[in-house]
Amino acid sequence: MAWFLRPDAFSAFENEEIRDTIPRYIRVVRREEPPLFRLTQRIFLDVGDDPWATHDEGLQILSKCVVEGGCPKEKRDGRTSLLELKALLAKDLLRECRLCEWKCGVNRLEGEIGVCRVRDSRVASAFIHMGEEAPITPSGTIFFTGCNFRCIFCQNWDISQFPESGKRVDERELASIMDELRRQGARNINLVGGEPTPNLPLIISSLNLVRENFPVVWNSNMYMSEEAMKLLLGLVDLWLPDFKYWNDECARKYSGIPRYRETVTRNLKMAYDYPPGEMVLRHLVLPGHLNCCTEPILRWISDNIPDILVNIMDQYRPEYRASKFDEINRRVTTEEMTRAYRLADELGLKWRSVS
Ligand code: SF4
């Protein structure tokens, strides 16, 4: 296969800032360490009356394994693996769906649909993406249809707002897509959409079937419920979250989302605090939103999750329905980007190697 790799992707792992910030992810890419989902297959648990309490126990064991660099080999002895338990709990969340913070309460096992309108998991496309951040490229990217956001400037609106587009997949088909992408040379499996969250149960079941080892990248708006977030801990090797807004009014106006800030900051903190907590965070600078969004977001990162890579993105374009909103119906100016970069430098954020 002929690839046109972004030039810095070759040397990304030699960059000191990248090497020091996402070391475990790099070792998993190089097959020097197992991905987290493989460790969850080696932890066996007796599931009692409170499966979430058992899951918490499993997360504690796993966190020790990650910190100490491996899990002792155990016999199953009729017990359930942590990965199997995650799959069971994820499926159960579909019964009165609360996979994301909308907590619609619809029974998706019976075909009911909530805000995301996702009925069954569908893949719009899956390919080796050459345009992601340097340490992620070449990335085995899987685009799911449907989204729980309604961003008026969405660049993927043709799949995010049309959940019935794409090809319906079951767990075996999804596992084989993942394996094939890795065999073709992907550094990782990059789960995106639309939004991957409404597809979490299928994703977890598929990980239990894959043959290849690869780091899992969660490319998301981070609007998961706390329960879904806990299920992702111990599966995601590299978080690739968006942090778009600080001001909840902006989130409501441009993405139709309530309680954005409290949800996303809670989830980012959970992702960062659970080992290995490695992350490349994306902040898309919106025109005219330096004071209300960009600056407080960069300050929050510096105060709460400083040891991550930050991609400060200048590629906003007024696509989809954005032309109906005069104040963001333009590109970001050089002055606005310079202000954002200058503040990131003042705060000591690690942004230069990935922006
Ligand atoms: S994933 Fe979120 S938006 Fe979709 S049905 Fe479940 S709770 Fe609702």
What is the Å distance from ligand 1's center to 104 Cα? 6
Which residue out of 91, 92, 94, 97 has the highest number of ligand 1 atoms within 8 Å of its CB and is therefore the one to mutate?
97
Which residue out of 95, 102, 113 has the highest number of ligand 1 atoms within 8 Å of its CB and is therefore the one to mutate?
102
At residue 86, does pLDDT exceed 80? Answer: yes
In a domain, 355, yes or no: no
In a domain, 54, yes or no: yes
Angle at 13 between CA 8 and CA 18, to 5 degrees: 95
Q: Phi and psi of 66, rounded to 5°? A: -65, -45
Give the closest residue (by CA) to ligand 1 atom 6.
97
CATH of the domain at 143: 3.20.20.70
Give the closest residue (by CA) to ligand 1 atom 1.
198
pLDDT at 321: 86
178 lines ligand 1 (CB under 6 A): no
CA-CA distance, 82 to 89, in Å (whole number)? 10
User: Which helix or strand (DSSP H or E) is residue 274 part of?
Assistant: none
What is the Å distance from ligand 1's center to 102 Cα? 6
Which residue out of 107, 115, 150, 232 has the highest number of ligand 1 atoms within 8 Å of its CB and is therefore the one to mutate?
115
CA-CA distance, 120 to 100, in Å (whole number)? 16
CA-CA distance, 209 to 91, in Å (whole number)? 16
CA-CA distance, 99 to 109, in Å (whole number)? 13
Q: pLDDT tens-digit profile of 203-232?
A: 999 999 999 999 999 999 999 999 999 999
State the helix-helix crossing angle for 295-304 and 334-347, rounded to 10 degrees.
Answer: 20
Closest CA to 200 of 243, 148, 165: 148
Measured from the Cα of 115, ligand 1's closest atom is 3
In a domain, 227, yes or no: yes
DSSP code per residue over 12-63 = GGG-HHHHHHSHHHHHHHTTSS--HHHHHTT-EE---S-HHHHHHHHHHHHH
Going by DSSP bridges, is the β-strand pair 167-168/309-313 parallel, antiparallel, or unpaired?
unpaired
CA-CA distance, 14 to 10, in Å (whole number)? 9
Q: Are 182 and 189 a contacting pair, CB within 8 Å?
A: yes
User: Which helix or strand (DSSP H or E) is residue 284 part of?
Assistant: strand 280-284
144 lines ligand 1 (CB under 6 A): no
Give the closest residue (by CA) to ligand 1 atom 2.
100
User: Which helix or strand (DSSP H or E) is residue 201 part of?
Assistant: helix 200-207
At residue 88, does pLDDT exceed 90? Answer: yes
- The tokens describing 230, both together, are 């806990």
pLDDT at 72: 81
In a domain, 63, yes or no: yes
Band (3; pLDDT cuts 50, 70, 90): low
Q: Containing domain of residue 307, as a range?
A: 12-67+79-347
In a domain, 354, yes or no: no
CA 215 to chain centre: 12
State the total domains in the chain.
1
At residue 2, does pLDDT exceed 60? Answer: no
CA-CA distance, 133 to 354, in Å (whole number)? 6
Which residue out of 96, 99, 107, 108 has the highest number of ligand 1 atoms within 8 Å of its CB and is therefore the one to mutate?
99
What is the Å distance from ligand 1's center to 110 Cα? 14
Which residue out of 91, 94, 98, 104 has the highest number of ligand 1 atoms within 8 Å of its CB and is therefore the one to mutate?
104
At residue 261, does pLDDT exceed 60? Answer: yes
CA-CA distance, 36 to 59, in Å (whole number)? 11
pLDDT at 10: 79
What is the Å distance from ligand 1's center to 277 Cα? 25
- The tokens describing 175, both together, are 């596992």
Q: Are 102 and 112 a contacting pair, CB within 8 Å?
A: no
Q: 268 by DSSP, 3-state: which? A: helix
Measured from the Cα of 100, ligand 1's closest atom is 2
98 lines ligand 1 (CB under 6 A): yes
In a domain, 74, yes or no: no
pLDDT at 7: 65
Q: 61 by DSSP, 3-state: which? A: helix
What is the Å distance from ligand 1's center to 140 Cα? 25
Strand partners, 231: none
Q: Are 55 and 86 a contacting pair, CB within 8 Å?
A: yes
In a domain, 72, yes or no: no
96 lines ligand 1 (CB under 6 A): no
In a domain, 222, yes or no: yes
Taking residues 331-355, what's their average pLDDT?
Answer: 97
Give the 3-state secondary structure percentages of the chain, helix then strand then coil, rounded to 5.
40, 15, 45
- The tokens describing 113, both together, are 């649909």
Band (71; pLDDT cuts 50, 70, 90): confident
